[in-house]
Structure formats: C-alpha cells, structure tokens
C-alpha cells in the first residue's frame, strides 16, 4: 500500500462525518452537519449528532450538500430525486438520468428517503393506522344521607389524512338514586354515538357525510337515527385554531316509547371550533340547528362545549357540557336535556 493510499484511508476513518454527512451553509457563514430530514419554503430540519434536530429558516440557507438522495418538489409540480450540491444559489440534483439544475427559490418541498416513505404511507394508510383520540371516565358515589351513583363515559377517535378525515364518537351518562323509595330510581340514562367522513375539495371547501344515534330513557326516546351530509368551509385553519361552518340536509327517524315512529327531512346548519389554549389545554365547541323541513315550526338544536387539559403525555382532565333541545318532545318530557361531565381523559395514538 502506497503512502498516498494509507493517508486516504486514515482520512476516511478520522473524518467520516465530513465525508458522508449532509451539510448546510447559512448566509451568515454558519455550517451545520448531519442528516437533512425535510424542508418546505419556510423551514429546513437537519438532524445533527450532538444537538439533535435543528430547525433553520429556509430563506437563511445559502448552500446544501447531501450525501444521500433527496426528494425535491419544484414550484411547477415536478419532483426530482438525487444527491444535491449548490453553486451560486442553484441546486444541482444528480438524478439517475442526469444532473438537473434548479434555482433554490423554485424548491417548495424537500424530503429525505425516510420522510418521503412516511409521506407516501400517509397518503394511503391502513384502516387501523393513523388514529388519535381519547377515552373519558367520570364516576361518583355517595352513601349516608344520600345514596347515588353516577357514571359518565365517552370515547372519541379521528383518523386524518392529507385531504380527508374520519371521526367516531360515543358518550353515555347513567345515574341512579339508590335511596329507599326514591322515585325515579334512575335519574339519567342517555347514550349518543356517531361517525362522520370529511373530504377536502380545496384548502377551504370540504364535503361531509355522517350518521348519529341517540337514546334517552328519561325522555322516553328509544332511538333517534340521523343520516345526513353537506358542505363545509374552513374559515380558520391554523396550528392553534380551526373554525368550520357547515350546512346540509339530513334524514331523521325517531321512536319514542308508546308513540309511533316518525320520519322527516331536516336542514342542518352549524359551526365547529377547536382552539389550543397554551401548551396543555384544548377547547372544543359545536353548535348545530336542525329545522324540520316538513313542519317549519319544529326544530332540534344541539350545543357541546368541552376542554381537555393534559397532565402527562397520555393522561388529562376533561370537562364537557352538552345541551339537546327539541321543540316537540312527548307529553310529560322536557324540551331540554343538559349534561355536564368531568373526569379523567386517557389519550391514544396508533
């Protein structure tokens, strides 16, 4: 082995990072070495050996050099794949079919092989993949001067894609007065549940279809089934706040004890708000109005408001308030059904 070969091997062993790692140079002359993970037209993320993931402003990046292929999306929609070098603000991408030169300003997205694989998988997730949600549990028991039991359960789950969303929910409240001779013995027994699918046509406009089901023993409601759909508008869609306005039509079938079942068509208008309050609390609110198209004087309205405050990564404290109003309940039943629950929230992601 010649001295030159020996020196080359020694250099490779002593300086492997410099040879094989990615590198970015900022406009102020700073250099970062590591593995480029992803970038959009605002920020670039590079994973360094000692500082972990470092995020820098994309306009501040002067040069890029990659040792591994990067997937680069251009402003014209074209995607090129290859290792990257930079000269005078122009990216030279060494693709399998040759070098492609593009100005840095034309790059809209940049992904590593791992990030590209994750992106491709997110476009077509399995049915059981990508779910996030939580389960709420609240229980109260009294004995002595009063003898009561209260149990509140709720479950929510959502699976978000790039252009769609599938969501499920169910909640129930059950309470009894166990005192001897107490009438009624059951003071609450209501269950709700539903499913909804949203699909974005544009960043602002989306369509939705869904079904909701409800029973309420004290209102003598055996089952209310609501099937509907319509259009929605993302009025606000940011990292901290989303505000949607929705409108459509639905078909309702409801059966009260000792009364014949009835079916009718109704319109639906509503709004949904989600807002992150600080780092640990999320607020959610929904308001809907359902006028009966067969009888303009009749309608149903629902209002839900809740908060979840994280205690740990998977445990939180939840508060939920709900009000369901109907104009034509059976004789002897009240028009409003109000529920308030509080208790633990256990979140999950899969």
- Number of C-beta neighbours around residue 42 at 10 A: 9
- Scanning the chain, the segments in alpha helix (DSSP H) are 3-14, 16-20, 113-123
In this chain, the answer to whether the domains covering 3-123 and 131-349 adopt an identical fold is no
Q: Are 70 and 104 in contact (CB under 8 A)?
A: no
Output DSSP code: residue 147: -
Q: Are 56 and 43 in contact (CB under 8 A)?
A: yes
> Cα–Cα distance between 262 and 119 in angstroms, integer?
48
pLDDT at 12 over 50: no
**Domain extent listing, the chain:** 3-123, 131-349
Q: Are 46 and 115 in contact (CB under 8 A)?
A: no
Query: Stretch 221-233: mean pLDDT, rounded?
Result: 95
> Cα–Cα distance between 350 and 73 in angstroms, integer?
29
> Cα–Cα distance between 248 and 233 in angstroms, integer?
12
The pTM of this model reads 0.69
Residues in the chain: 350
> Looking at domain 3-123, which CATH architecture does it have?
Roll (2.30)
pLDDT digits (tens, 9 = 90+) for 118-164: 887 777 666 677 788 999 898 888 887 788 898 989 999 998 877 88
- In this prediction, residue 178 has a pLDDT band, given cuts at 50, 70 and 90, of confident
pLDDT digits (tens, 9 = 90+) for 25-69: 998 989 999 999 999 888 999 998 888 889 999 889 999 999 889
> Looking at domain 131-349, which CATH architecture does it have?
Beta Barrel (2.40)
Output DSSP code: residue 292: B
**Residue in 205, 207, 183, 186 with CA at minimum distance from that of residue 196:** 207
Query: Stretch 308-319: mean pLDDT, rounded?
Result: 91
Residue 19, classed as helix, strand or coil, is helix
**Selected residue with higher pLDDT from 81 and 184:** 81
> Cα–Cα distance between 232 and 238 in angstroms, integer?
16
| Predicted pLDDT of residue 117 | 85
Query: Stretch 248-263: mean pLDDT, rounded?
Result: 92
Distances in Å between the alpha carbon of 121 and those of 84, 130, 164, 234, 261?
24, 10, 15, 25, 46
Q: What is the CA radius of gyration of the chain?
A: 29
């Amino acid at each position: 082995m010649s001295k030159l070969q020996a020196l080359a091997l020694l250099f490779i062993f002593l300086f492997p990072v410099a040879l094989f790692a990615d590198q970015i140079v900022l406009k102020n002359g700073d250099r970062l070495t590591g593995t480029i993970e992803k970038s959009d037209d605002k920020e670039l993320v590079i994973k360094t050996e000692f500082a972990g993931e470092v995020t820098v402003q994309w306009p501040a990046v002067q040069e890029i050099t990659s040792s591994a292929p990067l997937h680069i999306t251009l402003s014209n929609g074209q995607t090129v794949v290859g290792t990257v070098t930079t000269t005078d603000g122009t990216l030279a991408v060494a693709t399998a079919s040759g070098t492609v030169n593009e100005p840095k300003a034309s790059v809209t997205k940049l992904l590593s092989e791992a990030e590209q694989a994750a992106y491709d998988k997110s476009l077509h997730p399995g049915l059981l993949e990508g779910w996030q949600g939580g389960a709420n549990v609240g229980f109260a028991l009294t004995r002595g001067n009063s003898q009561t039991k209260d149990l509140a359960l709720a479950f929510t789950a959502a699976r978000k894609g790039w252009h769609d969303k599938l969501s499920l929910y169910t909640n129930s409240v059950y309470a009894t007065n166990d005192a001897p001779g107490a009438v009624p013995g059951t003071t609450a027994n209501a269950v709700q549940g539903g499913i909804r699918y949203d699909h974005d046509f544009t960043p602002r406009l989306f369509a939705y279809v869904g079904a909701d089901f409800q029973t309420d023993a004290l209102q003598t409601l055996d089952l209310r089934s609501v099937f509907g759909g319509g259009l929605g508008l993302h009025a606000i869609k940011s990292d901290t706040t989303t505000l949607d306005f929705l409108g459509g039509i639905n078909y309702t079938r409801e059966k009260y004890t000792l009364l014949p079942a009835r079916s009718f068509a109704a319109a639906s208008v509503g709004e949904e708000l989600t807002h992150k309050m600080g780092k640990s609390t999320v607020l959610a609110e929904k308001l809907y109005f359902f006028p009966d198209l067969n009888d303009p004087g009749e309608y149903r309205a629902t209002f839900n408001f809740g908060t979840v405050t994280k205690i740990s990564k998977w445990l939180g404290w939840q508060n939920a308030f709900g009000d369901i109003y109907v104009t034509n309940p059976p004789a002897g039943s009240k028009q409003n059904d109000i529920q308030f629950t509080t208790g633990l929230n256990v979140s999950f992601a899969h």
